[in-house]
Structure 1
Amino acid sequence: MASSADLAQAPPARARRGRHPGITLTVIAAAQLMAVLDITIVNIALPHIQQALAFSTAGLSWVVNAYTLTFGGLLLLGGRAGDILGRRRMFVVGVLLFGLASLLGGVAGSATWLLAARSLQGVGGAIASPTALALIATNFAEGRARNRAFGVYSAVAAGGGAIGVLAGGMLTTWLSWRWVFFVNVPIALAVALLAPLYINESARRPGRFDLLGACTATLGTGSLVFGFIRASEHGWTDGWTLAAFATALVLLPYFLLHERRTAQPITPLHLFRDRNRSGSYAMMLCLAGAMFSVFFFITLFVQNVLDFSPLRAGFAFLPISVSIVAAAQIAARNQVRFGAKPFQVTGALLVTGGLFWLTHTSTVSGYAGGVLGPTLLFGLGMGSLFVPTMLTAVSGVAPHETGAATGTLNATQQIGGSLGLSILVTVYGAASRHEAARQLVRLSDHGTAAQLAQFRASGRLPAPYAQQVLAHGIASAFTAGLVFAVLAVLIAVFVIRRPATGA
């Protein structure tokens, strides 16, 4: 029997049917689509989930955050696992775990059950997603072939969120909210069966797992996000809010110290010595928060203010999906000619313009001017950014650290999304409370007898007044998101350096 050392040094296994780049890329992209799509596919179904499982408003936000936090917090460990145990092997394990968790989520009978399933989905995604990106480097030669593969992968990663909202609308309207989870099961099974046939395995590297680093990173980030969400409802002086921030203040610095001292960290800090790579990580951290928030708040706006059905709300996001995919393909095809920086600067400026437009959201905003225009601008910007940012993150990285580099990139996206959304939800909550008090005065002064009776019976503002509160809160949240986008522009302009040649 071969020893573990022999296995670690064994040459990479080959797919039994040779090289089929089209099928290989399809299998990898399908797994990434499943992981990214699940971040937003539940957004459209959230009102139905809340009604079916008796979620509170605060609890409902954890249907999103339970997934993104475990996903982002464990991505670094997932990338490391692929380096040590084999990327294809861990890719299959992650996909199957994701499919199992999706099945459990679809049959959930309580809020606690669903949140546990969402957390397990995040674990599966954290294993599959970084190994999927690293498998592109394993299966495609550097140069034009790899750039094209990254272009397809990036289009899926960028457009998956919008596709998820569209699919969520269809499934919720035609079937039920449970199918936003069930849909992952056949995809996971197909990917797990095809991967050993068409994806080459990577060489396994000897090493150890940095479990302490993974735990401190995940718990520290989770505490930070919990603190912001708790503050949005209970205030900044609440005991749990303060305890959460204190925990994050201890764990996150300790994570950095531990990573500096340990022999085999999940995040090799020397990866950040490269200025362009660090700048790209920082840009992804800022822009992911803005991206998650656009999908979250626009979904609320079109359903609760514009009164769209779930299906119509899903189709309302189709243009942004097309713009993201189109811009990602253009960026991929022109990387060699122009380099990464022009696309990063242009993309960040477009995102900033789209968010600035969204800060003017109000109850009189129609779909064409209030949603379609700014989200198209936003989509073109995000699509322009994904390919150069991904290529910069893995450029010049040693083969045995590809998993760590891609895991760090994905982690900054997921953690940035969770943290950014929690900050914007906090801004939304504060602005909404202020506006609700103002609308209550308006109701008392100008409301009809029927509206006043409705408020006294339910304690909730009638629809016209509640829509004003929602729209004001959303506009305030986008103002905070605009700050993230401006930071990304500054990073793209002043931190990212353009190479001497466009290669």
Structure 2
Amino acid sequence: MTSTSTATERARPHAGPAWLVLSLACACQFMVILDASIVNVALPSIERELGFTATGLAWVVNGYLLTFAGFMLLGGRAADLFGHRQILIAGLVVFSASSLVGGLATAAEVLVAARMAQGVGAAMLAPATLAVINTNFTEAHARARAFGAWSASGGVGGMAGAITGGAITTGLSWRWIFLINVPIGAVLIAVAMMSLASTRAGRRASLDLTGAVTGTAGLAALIYGVMQSTDHGWTSVQVAGPIVAGLLLLVAFTVVEARFATQPMMPLRLFSIRGVAVGNVMLLLLGGIAIAMWYFTSLFLQNALGYSALQTGLGQTPAAVTFVVIARMAATLLPRTDVRPLVLAGCACLAAGFGWLAQAHADSGYVTSVLGPTLLIAVGIGLTFPTLMAAATADVPEGDAGTIGGLANTASQVGGSVSLAVFATAASARAATEAGGSSPAALAAGYDLVFLMAVGLGLAIAAVSLLLPKHWRG
């Protein structure tokens, strides 16, 4: 690549109109997040048809989440080295092909393997979409609006899972929750080829293999150990072993990146940017907020109030719509107000909403005890999530856009995984102390404890936000 062509690429980062580029990034993010939850409603049908054991069935969900979070840093660095367009298209190919295999699977092992391959494809897509936004939307207002739309698309994908999965499983077959990704993926590949220009570096790229192995294996082992905690005690070999191994591998990864890697997978110099360092700590905490809101509110509606899966999805829809509206609004406000005011306002809503929700019990009404507080929480997440994503990826060199996108997504995913395990343990222990430990009232008491813990996370995010730079430069 000549210097002239390189300069031209930077001046014209996309081949198609900006709206098409943003639509592509949002559609990819929607699909990635949707597939994390769409299978939940279909699990009983999958279990019956493919003969899963109860333990094995969990890996239809966990297999995707494990590789998604574990390979995210690698996917982000690959996007910087080999080109955002190339990795995004490759991610779509892997995601679509593994969806086809999953939809046609006739054995439990094949479906789990397909779900893990889907997670690898998602780990390529998620940071690539952030990199595309960072490199194609450089003006502050445009970038803020793009982050708002990207965040909203992920939120809608997460909430649409229960309703979409239920409708497809009931009307067609569980197989179509995977097969539907194939034509959608083909369309997105065509759009990517038309709308994105190559961003591959002019110099020969080389991947930090030692860093890739230690970093990816460390994250995967850590997350695997945390996932095992739902079936085993925290001090058991099944949990403590992978967690310790994961932490040791991450220490080795840090040493390799700091001392030995010539082209590190995660350049530690990026953490000298205050927005990156502080923003990712806050995203780690916000991952727990999201789990407390969407996952445990869903459990409360079903297990405490007796709602069906479809009723639960519909019951959470107002909060999802609120999140989308507020996320877009936050994107408009960010260039005018800066990061801190939006984050602090969001944290106030989170603390108030979860505090209100923690008062709910098995005899509570939906409107006064669930709808009201979840709308308030949705406002808080809508204000904070796109704002923190913008803060955590600002002031980053263009050549590191994919890496920082992978880091931001990893922080959120790891925070959610760890919080899910901690919250589930706390809720179970609290319910066990109540009379009739599995009764709706006892389960509600466990969920209320989770909501109170989420209040603490909201206050912690507010405290950490004081370390952010005073001015966001986009």
TM-score scaled to structure 2, two decimals? 0.90
Letter in 1 for 2:327: A
Alignment of 1:368-447 (within 5 A): 368-435=367-434, 438-439=435-436
Deviation at residue 124 of structure 1 after TM alignment: 0.3
Deviation at residue 165 of structure 1 after TM alignment: 3.0
Q: Does 1:363 align with 2:362?
A: yes
The change in CA–CA distance for 1:281 and 1:180 in structure 2 (over 3 A counts) is: same
Partner of residue 444, structure 1:
none
Q: Does 1:321 align with 2:320?
A: yes
The change in CA–CA distance for 1:235 and 1:390 in structure 2 (over 3 A counts) is: closer
Letter in 2 for 1:221: L
Partner of residue 451, structure 2:
478
Deviation at residue 408 of structure 1 after TM alignment: 0.9
Q: Secondary structure of 2:128's partner? A: helix
Deviation at residue 80 of structure 1 after TM alignment: 1.4
Partner of residue 488, structure 1:
461
**Contact 2:14-2:21 within 8 A present in 1 as well:** no
Q: Deviations over 1:454-500 (max 9, x none)?
A: xxxxxxxxxxx5434433333333343333333212112x322322x
Partner of residue 210, structure 2:
212
Partner of residue 45, structure 1:
42
Alignment of 1:75-474 (within 5 A): 75-204=72-201, 206-261=204-259, 262-435=261-434, 438-439=435-436, 466-474=439-447
The change in CA–CA distance for 1:31 and 1:84 in structure 2 (over 3 A counts) is: same
Q: Secondary structure of 2:71's partner? A: helix
User: How many pairs were matched up?
Assistant: 472
* CA distance in 1 between partners of 2:14 and 2:279 (Å): 37
Letter in 2 for 1:186: P
Once the two structures are overlaid, the 10-residue window that deviates more, 6-15 or 470-479, is 6-15
Deviation at residue 7 of structure 1 after TM alignment: 13
**Contact 1:36-1:157 within 8 A present in 2 as well:** yes
The change in CA–CA distance for 1:16 and 1:410 in structure 2 (over 3 A counts) is: closer
* CA distance in 2 between partners of 1:174 and 1:92 (Å): 31
**Contact 2:133-2:146 within 8 A present in 1 as well:** yes
Deviation at residue 412 of structure 1 after TM alignment: 0.8
* CA distance in 1 between partners of 2:400 and 2:464 (Å): 25
Partner of residue 62, structure 2:
65
Q: Secondary structure of 1:253's partner? A: helix
Letter in 2 for 1:236: W
Once the two structures are overlaid, the 10-residue window that deviates more, 139-148 or 258-267, is 139-148
Q: Deviations over 1:403-452 (max 9, x none)?
A: 111111111112222222122222233334444xx427xxxxxxxxxxxx
* CA distance in 2 between partners of 1:298 and 1:479 (Å): 13
Once the two structures are overlaid, the 10-residue window that deviates more, 324-333 or 182-191, is 182-191
Letter in 2 for 1:489: A
Deviation at residue 332 of structure 1 after TM alignment: 0.9
* CA distance in 2 between partners of 1:65 and 1:17 (Å): 35
The change in CA–CA distance for 1:378 and 1:10 in structure 2 (over 3 A counts) is: same
* CA distance in 2 between partners of 1:41 and 1:90 (Å): 24
Partner of residue 449, structure 1:
none
Letter in 2 for 1:498: K
**Contact 2:305-2:440 within 8 A present in 1 as well:** no
**Contact 1:15-1:201 within 8 A present in 2 as well:** no
**Contact 1:155-1:329 within 8 A present in 2 as well:** yes
The change in CA–CA distance for 1:239 and 1:78 in structure 2 (over 3 A counts) is: closer
Deviation at residue 177 of structure 1 after TM alignment: 3.1
Letter in 1 for 2:219: T
Q: Does 1:497 align with 2:469?
A: yes
* CA distance in 1 between partners of 2:404 and 2:219 (Å): 19
* CA distance in 1 between partners of 2:415 and 2:348 (Å): 19
* CA distance in 2 between partners of 1:344 and 1:90 (Å): 32
Q: Secondary structure of 2:229's partner? A: helix
Q: Which has the larger radius of gyration?
A: 1
* CA distance in 2 between partners of 1:203 and 1:57 (Å): 45
Q: Deviations over 1:126-183 (max 9, x none)?
A: 1111111211233334233333222222221233211233322322333333333223
Letter in 2 for 1:211: L
Letter in 2 for 1:242: A
* CA distance in 2 between partners of 1:277 and 1:112 (Å): 39
Once the two structures are overlaid, the 10-residue window that deviates more, 42-51 or 116-125, is 42-51
Letter in 2 for 1:422: A
Letter in 2 for 1:475: D
**Contact 2:302-2:312 within 8 A present in 1 as well:** yes
Letter in 2 for 1:472: A
**Contact 1:159-1:325 within 8 A present in 2 as well:** yes
**Contact 1:12-1:202 within 8 A present in 2 as well:** yes
Deviation at residue 184 of structure 1 after TM alignment: 1.9
Gaps of 5+ in 1: 441-464
The change in CA–CA distance for 1:477 and 1:61 in structure 2 (over 3 A counts) is: farther
Deviation at residue 16 of structure 1 after TM alignment: 13
Deviation at residue 51 of structure 1 after TM alignment: 4.8
Letter in 2 for 1:311: L
* CA distance in 2 between partners of 1:396 and 1:254 (Å): 28
Q: Deviations over 1:83-103 (max 9, x none)?
A: 121111111110111112222
Could you tell me the percent identity over the aligned residues? Answer: 36
**Contact 1:158-1:382 within 8 A present in 2 as well:** no
The change in CA–CA distance for 1:146 and 1:49 in structure 2 (over 3 A counts) is: same
The change in CA–CA distance for 1:476 and 1:300 in structure 2 (over 3 A counts) is: same
Letter in 2 for 1:416: G
The change in CA–CA distance for 1:467 and 1:105 in structure 2 (over 3 A counts) is: farther
* CA distance in 2 between partners of 1:344 and 1:38 (Å): 28
**Contact 1:335-1:502 within 8 A present in 2 as well:** no
Letter in 2 for 1:473: G
Deviation at residue 47 of structure 1 after TM alignment: 4.4
TM-score scaled to structure 1, two decimals? 0.85
Q: Secondary structure of 1:233's partner? A: coil
Letter in 1 for 2:234: W
**Contact 1:297-1:474 within 8 A present in 2 as well:** yes
Letter in 2 for 1:467: P
* CA distance in 1 between partners of 2:11 and 2:194 (Å): 9
Q: Deviations over 1:367-388 (max 9, x none)?
A: 2233322221121111111222
Q: Secondary structure of 1:218's partner? A: helix
CA RMSD of aligned residues (A): 2.9
The change in CA–CA distance for 1:274 and 1:151 in structure 2 (over 3 A counts) is: same
The change in CA–CA distance for 1:21 and 1:232 in structure 2 (over 3 A counts) is: closer
